[in-house]
Structure 1
């Protein structure tokens, strides 16, 4: 008798072929010129699910946002419903010359599949398809697929989508396939996520540019003044110096320094910043980075004191904190530390809440066993320094549900960067794990 695991692995070529077709659609939600491509990906997903025999599949939108897809496979009598989440939009490809192959052409090199979205998160979508195909479109539990189209721009209409489609999306278990595994060959469940907030800082010192020789040494220029302000965001060791930001308790997990250096690409001789363990700094403490700067380009520089300079600041908010309150504390710090009495304007941007996910209960135990069986090793429970704000949205909308944050990526995936890739062995294991999870939940209720 053919086992579920054998069925899933036998179907890998067709699933990967469909993933390649999805990767070929440049569904970059941040680019208005590619809105039609986000629409095209949604339509392609609808067709895949229709071909699978889904009796109820449709596109939905809210507030003028990009289209999402909701597909519902009804629950057999007495069985619960599992909602499988992924997103079909992707990050911009950036400079194509930095890629080893066309970013929108899925390319196998060695044991990895390269291309934008192979892991983040069309790979997660493909895992869901693989699990459903293993049951020939008739899963043993109720399954709802929720495939979002604007996660990469912060899910601005997600809360409205959840509110408008609450009955259709309600489930006993949510599987969010959009995180990262511990390493190749070792699966992980994410149990904490930092939140995200950003702001734009504009600093003025003059009402017009002036000659640096005539006034330098007396009149402060805006760019140097802004640099001094930005330097106050960290102490001498690189810890965030904004008062009042929360931290959380780190898990008992070792992240060796040599591994961090290799995975991040930290150059020889460059030191880490901050104090505490690597895990604590990456997952449990706030982090601040200046991610953009508006000033005169070097190739257009002149001996001039700039009257205005701008920067964008990104704040990662620790689990247990509140993103809006953390933003207010950042803004207060900036105003309290502005040098030389310069004029300062701070404009808050997007924000997303951090999350702590309780891995407990019978469904979580079924998931643990399913993933251990599929990979052959027990799963690791970890945090993520990055943000998935919709996890908090799901938690607020469905507080009684079990939320499982799973992954297809690994530390070599390079999500959001050039040469994004998916480890093919881990992808197959993820497909098997989710299939076993659905069957395990069904078996739990039969027993």
Structure 2
């Protein structure tokens, strides 16, 4: 592939079967331009950074997003295969599921709604915002050269507002229904792997947990301290008339277990506790049945956590796999914080919320592509030499222990710019240009800009 390092060409060419040849030529330019461009990720800015500012048929590049026939879901399957092979080749595949609000205004954006702004709001201050609601499924995997877990998006779906569905005469699909479909789709893509889903308390719903448990997916999420827990249903005696029982005796709530003196607490060291390294916690755990009238009955393992130094309030977790160790449940759950980091990084470095499409199809494609670009850049960075992969943007006032995503993006950009600067002329009698080293200020402006 001209203008690309050979180590990058194999990964980028993996997405070529999604397009016909003419559309792929345009999509490839947009993909590389989205990596190189700073600031806004509009089609115009991508064409400028790729040297196509004088392209008279620029409308063909817009048509890749708003008209061309290609499947983002098929692209998500290809991306997931590369992510699993690179960062989770064996053992359980840990996934993270969460939603985010993309702030957008405009009467022509049909799926727009009014939502609570999770960034600007607090417990005592409520802020509303206009935008699009996205639900993203990510692979939570440790990145060897970064020394921590990254959340790598691969499948993102738009969740239209109720008002938009009502105006279009369509049935509104709740957030939990969309999340269930995304996870079960991934289950079909990875039939032989053990899947573990980590989510926040918004996904602690009995119908959601039951559907994924029946699909062979273990779910870890928060649990209310006043949840109604029961013993398993006793064995049915022969000759008993009526419907079989679904629960046994009522158990104390977790709030009561927390205050009880007879609770058996065990000290466990949980690694990677929200970026502060290992932390010693007191843990109590048991199995129970979570039930509510009219909803499915879900067997769970609950884990009650408290800090001996009272640095945070006690909290409870649940896992639908009763055989999991409480320490392993906690280790997987703390990976969820990397999902919020990914949302912030994509806004800061990949231009999420800067695109300006208003076509329904372009809107449904652009944001998932920008989120997936986070994973593509990570895969490209994994193909860099170890010395370039571990480079960090250091300064006298900014020490950094491990490389971050901005460093990975800078390394990929540096490789792309180097290849474009040393491109060989098409004429055979012309020699390759001599090697040119970018001065440090130029390299910072080209590679480290957001």
- Normalised to the residue count of structure 2, the TM-score between the two structures is 0.27
Larger Rg: 2
Select the structure that is richer in strand: 1
